[in-house]
Amino acid sequence: MGAGPDGLEPGRGTAQAAVRYGIDFAATADRTGFTGTAGQTLVLELPVSHSPDSVWANLASAVILVGTGDGSPADHRQAGAALAGKARGRGSVTVSWGGESEAVTQGLVQGYLLGAYQPVKYGQGGRAARSPKKGTGDLTLLGSYSQAALDRARTMAVATALARDLGNWPSNWKTPATFADRAAAAAAGRGSVRVTSFGPDEVAALGMGGLVAVGSAAWRGPAADPSRGPRLLLATHTPKGVKGAPHIAIVGKGITFDSGGLDIKPPSGMAAMKTDMAGGATALAVVLAAAELAVPAKVTAVVPLAQNSVGAGSYRPGDVVTVYGGTTVEVGDTDAEGRLVLADALAYATATLGPDYLIDIATLTGAAKVALGPRAGAVFSSDGTLAARIEESGAALGESWWRLPLPEDLEEALVSENADLSSTAKSGVGAGAVTAALFLRRFAGSTRWAHLDVAGPARAASARDWTAPGATGFGVHTLTALVERLA
Ligand code: BES
Ligand code: MN
Ligand code: ZN
């Protein structure tokens, strides 16, 4: 039910439901203060009767009134999420529906499916399970709706759930190798997707000095573990029978755990760092969503995977590493590891894939979170059109982005005496998210490029709207819609 200018407005099908259940919904709403604002709910528990002659026989166990506010897609997303919350543990849900626009249908289903996400619980040996009791049942739309809108919502929600699961996966089990295995498993059966990865020795042979340096403590130290060695994962969706399809490369940061390295993080900063591969998970999820939706563009996820550890094999502040393509970088701080692995991946993507668009997404800087807070992502791009398309794609689907600048005069902050450039800006410059973006820009060449810093929104501290605590999968909706638009 919506909140119209003249008070409560019943949604489609409400009249039929009123007759079927013999309930005056308007009077009931009035008596309980239900006004129809987006996401407001009123649960009417119905009596259970085992007598076939009872008026309560063969009815649903509850009727849930859900506020749809002004009727917009955004308010329906809110409504869907609220409905999922109330539907938890109840079995299937039937919604009276029909005649709404595609965007409104997509909003409702998106909110419901994202709100229904349940984190997995881990048992012995890392076995994952979701509690069936706390699950949310299937959603049935009673009436007419756009199948395409429903499919888009479902595909993006499934992709988001994968990104969330990967982010929430504990780092004792999540390694570069196991991440790559899960990527391959997730792509199995999708004919248009090919997944490959380069192992530690291949990455080294390719000249990816940033990825090797960051991943070396976990790989080459005394407690060497081949599964934890650095890796480069590639997943490509190639549309069938499309000539001249544009190629979009999405580079996603894949740090399976970020301890900070020798510049070790304090406990408060380290606790959340199992989600430091959120960008990589999003890149992978977008490729799978693009395949499912048969997007007529080629989309490649490029995910540099490494665990930033402390050990005898650690790289050090002051080290000079040579990244893919030959640029030398002086390591300013071993906790600025994301930009080093992204430098390799961006340079590799530019040189070997020749994409039309190059987008990177990363939990890159605490400074981005300080600037924009925990729910908005930062967009950096020299291309105003691309930046605007990213912001619009996100805004339409409930992900908020703000563009931050790339001021030329801050370039000099990255000058190094010992290498082509320094990985971190000189102290006192400030603007940590901006100087990180300026660093990355050096590796995108002349390709149309955008950098997305999701250090804030990739993770949620508490439940809110359609987001559970933990990894959020932020960016999956934006980038899936973006590749649809660019195709
Ligand atoms: N993964 C962190 C950034 C981060 C911080 C993500 C908080 C999510 C929440 C990144 O690798 C990092 O440590 N960045 C440093 C860079 C600094 C050393 C120049 C930071 O932001 O402090
Ligand atoms: Mn770090
Ligand atoms: Zn990091």
What is the best residue among 335, 439, 440 to mutate for testing ligand 1's pocket, by most ligand atoms within 8 Å of CB?
Answer: 335
Contacts with 249 (C-beta within 8 Å, 6 or more apart), sequence order: 299, 300, 302, 349, 353, 355, 357, 358, 359
Domain boundaries, the chain: 2-116, 154-486
Residue 409, pLDDT score:
98
Ligand 1, atom nearest to 333 Cα? 18
Residue 165, pLDDT score:
98
Q: Tell me if residue 265 is catalytic.
A: yes
What's the average model confidence in pLDDT over 63-72?
Answer: 96
Residue 294, pLDDT score:
98
What topology does CATH give the domain 154-486? Aminopeptidase (3.40.630)
CA dist., res. 392 & res. 122, Å (int): 37
- Is the shortest distance between the CB of 453 and ligand 1 below 6 Å? no
CATH code matching the domain that covers 2-116, chosen among 3.40.50.1820, 3.40.220.10, 3.40.50.300, 1.10.101.10: 3.40.220.10
154-486 has the same fold as 2-116:
no
Residue 270, pLDDT score:
98
Residue 99, pLDDT score:
80
Residue 219, pLDDT score:
93
Residue 149, pLDDT score:
97
- Is the shortest distance between the CB of 368 and ligand 1 below 6 Å? no
pLDDT at 224 over 80: no
In this structure, the residue with its CA closest to atom 7 of ligand 1 is 366
Q: Which of 86, 253, 298, 339 is catalytic?
A: 339
- Is the shortest distance between the CB of 363 and ligand 1 below 6 Å? yes
In this structure, the residue with its CA closest to atom 13 of ligand 1 is 335
CA dist., res. 441 & res. 75, Å (int): 37
pLDDT at 222 over 80: no
pLDDT over 70 percentage in the chain:
100
What's the average model confidence in pLDDT over 392-403?
Answer: 98
CA dist., res. 240 & res. 251, Å (int): 23
What is the per-residue DSSP string for 417-464?
SSSSEESSPPTT---HHHHHHHHHHTTSTTSEEEEEE-TTTTEESS-B
Residue 1, pLDDT score:
83
- Is the shortest distance between the CB of 424 and ligand 1 below 6 Å? yes
Q: What does the block give as tokens for 420?
A: 């082509």
Q: What does the block give as tokens for 71?
A: 């009727």
Q: pLDDT tens for residues 437-453?
A: 999 999 999 999 999 99
Residue 54, pLDDT score:
87
Average pLDDT, the chain: 96
What's the average model confidence in pLDDT over 47-64?
Answer: 88
Q: pLDDT tens for residues 95-142?
A: 988 889 999 999 999 999 999 999 999 988 889 899 888 899 999 998
For residues 453, 477, 238 and 360, what is the CA-based torsion angle, rounded to 10 degrees?
Answer: 0
pLDDT at 433 over 90: yes
Q: List Cα–Cα distances, 339 to 323, 360, 473, in angstroms.
A: 11, 11, 20
CA dist., res. 473 & res. 476, Å (int): 6
pLDDT at 14 over 90: no
Residue 466, pLDDT score:
98
pLDDT at 334 over 90: yes
| Confidence at 9, pLDDT banded by 50, 70, 90 | confident
